[in-house]
Structure 1
Amino acid sequence: MSSTTNYILGVYDDEDEVLHAVSEVKSKGIKIEDVFTPFPIHGLDRAVGHERTRLPIAAFMFGVLGLTCALSLISYTMVFDWPMIIGGKDFFALPNWIPVSFEGTVLFTAFGLVITFCISNNLYPGNQPDLLDLRITDDKFVMAINVDKNKKVSADDIKKALKDSGAIEVNVR
C-alpha cells in the first residue's frame, strides 16, 4: 500500500465484530482493501474475498526441482564421473538413491518456499513495513478501505458504514 493513497480505517476491538463487519460493509457495495489483525481469524480471508494462495503450486515445483537435482547429482557421480561397485550392486542402483532423492526434494521445497514467501510479502532486510495503525500489532483489528477504489461510494458513506458495523474508531490516513 503506497503512502499517497487515501485510506479510511475502521478500528475494532473483537475478532467476531470485525468478521461480522466485513460482510456488513461489503453488502453496502464498499470494496475492502484489507483487514489487519494481530492473530489469524478463521474465515476472514474468504469473507474479504482474497484468492487462494498459490504456494502449494510453488512447493510442488520446488520439490520437482529438488528431485531432479538430487537424481542428476547422484547419477552423474555414481554412473559417469566415478563408477564404483559397492557391495556387488550395479552402478545405476535406483533403490539405493531413494533416501538422498527424498532429502533433496524436502530441502529444495523448504528453502524454496521460505524464499518465495519472503519475496512475495516484501520481507527482506531494510524494508520498512507500512503500518496503517500501530495498534494492529497489539490488540486491535483494522479494516482498511481504499477511497480511490470506491468511486461509487462517498467517503462519508464509508465512514458511516464503518461506524454502523461496530467500529470503535474511524480514521482517515
Structure 2
Amino acid sequence: MASKVIHAIYNDDDLLLQAVKQVREARYHIGEVYTPFPVHGLDKVMGLAPTRLAVTSFIYGVIGLTVSVLMINYIMIEDWPQDIGGKPSFSFLQNLPAFVPIMFELTVFFAAHLMVITFYMRSKLWPFKKAENPDLRTTDDMFLMEVDAASHNIDELTKFLYDTGASEIKLIENK
C-alpha cells in the first residue's frame, strides 16, 4: 500500500506558522516541518509535547556528582590518603572545600557528554546515517511542511495549502 504525502514549501517563517495553525484547525495531519533555522513557537503550534531534556540533564548531573564524590572519597580518603599542603586526609568532610572544584567539573562533564549522547540517540543521528532532508532548499532559505494526504482529496488539499500561502506543492508517493 502506497502512502501519499504533500510537501508544501513556504518562503517565510511567519507564513509557515500561520499555515501550520490553519492546517491543524482543518484537522489535517502534519508529519514533519523542515526549517533552515529554529522557528520560535513552532513546537507549540504543531502541538508537540514539551521536551524532557532538562530532566535528563539534571539526572546526568546528579550521576556525575555521585561518581565524583565516590571517586574522590575512594582515591583521597580510603585508598591512598596523603598529606597535601599540610592538610591531612582523615575524613571527606574535613577536605570538602578542596574537593568542590573536582565535583563541579565532573558534574558538568557528565551532564554535557551524556546530553550529547542522549540528543543523538533521541534524534536517531547515527554515524554514517543518510540524510532525511526531502528538499535541499530547506537548509538554505525555504520551509517545508509535510502533510499526510493518504485519506484526503488531493485536489482539495492542494488548493487549501495554496490558500495558506504555499509557494510550491509536490505530491510524493512512497511505496
Partner residue, 2:104: 102
Q: Which amino acid aligns with 2:154?
A: A
- SS of residue paired to 1:29: coil
| Runs of 4+, deviation exceeding 6 Å | none
Q: Which amino acid aligns with 1:98?
A: V
Are the counterparts in 2 of residues 118 and 124 from structure 1 also a CA contact under 8 Å? Answer: yes
Q: Which amino acid aligns with 1:129?
A: A
Q: Percent identity?
A: 41
- How has the CA–CA distance of structure 1 residues 97 and 5 changed in structure 2, closer, same or farther, with 3 Å as cutoff? farther
Partner residue, 1:67: 65
Equivalent residue for 1:116, pick from 118, 135, 139? 118
What is the RMSD computed on CA atoms of the aligned residues? 1.6
| Structure 2: runs of 5+ lacking an equivalent | none
TM-score, L = length of structure 2: 0.88
User: Aligned partners of 1:50, 1:140: CA distance in 2, in Å?
Assistant: 22
Q: How do 1:1-173 and structure 2 match up within 5 A?
A: 5-86=3-84, 87-91=86-90, 92=92, 93-148=95-150, 151=151, 153-173=152-172
Deviation of the 1:40 alpha carbon: 1.3
Deviation of the 1:54 alpha carbon: 1.2
Aligned residues, how many?
167
Deviation of the 1:113 alpha carbon: 0.8
User: Aligned partners of 1:56, 1:147: CA distance in 2, in Å?
Assistant: 35
- How has the CA–CA distance of structure 1 residues 73 and 5 changed in structure 2, closer, same or farther, with 3 Å as cutoff? farther
User: Aligned partners of 2:44, 2:3: CA distance in 1, in Å?
Assistant: 25
| Per-residue deviation, residues 81-125 of structure 1 (Å, max 9, x unmatched) | 112233234432222211100000000011111111111112222
TM-score, L = length of structure 1: 0.89
Are the counterparts in 2 of residues 66 and 104 from structure 1 also a CA contact under 8 Å? Answer: yes
User: Aligned partners of 1:111, 1:5: CA distance in 2, in Å?
Assistant: 39
User: Aligned partners of 1:95, 1:88: CA distance in 2, in Å?
Assistant: 11
User: Aligned partners of 2:107, 2:145: CA distance in 1, in Å?
Assistant: 40
User: Aligned partners of 2:51, 2:169: CA distance in 1, in Å?
Assistant: 30
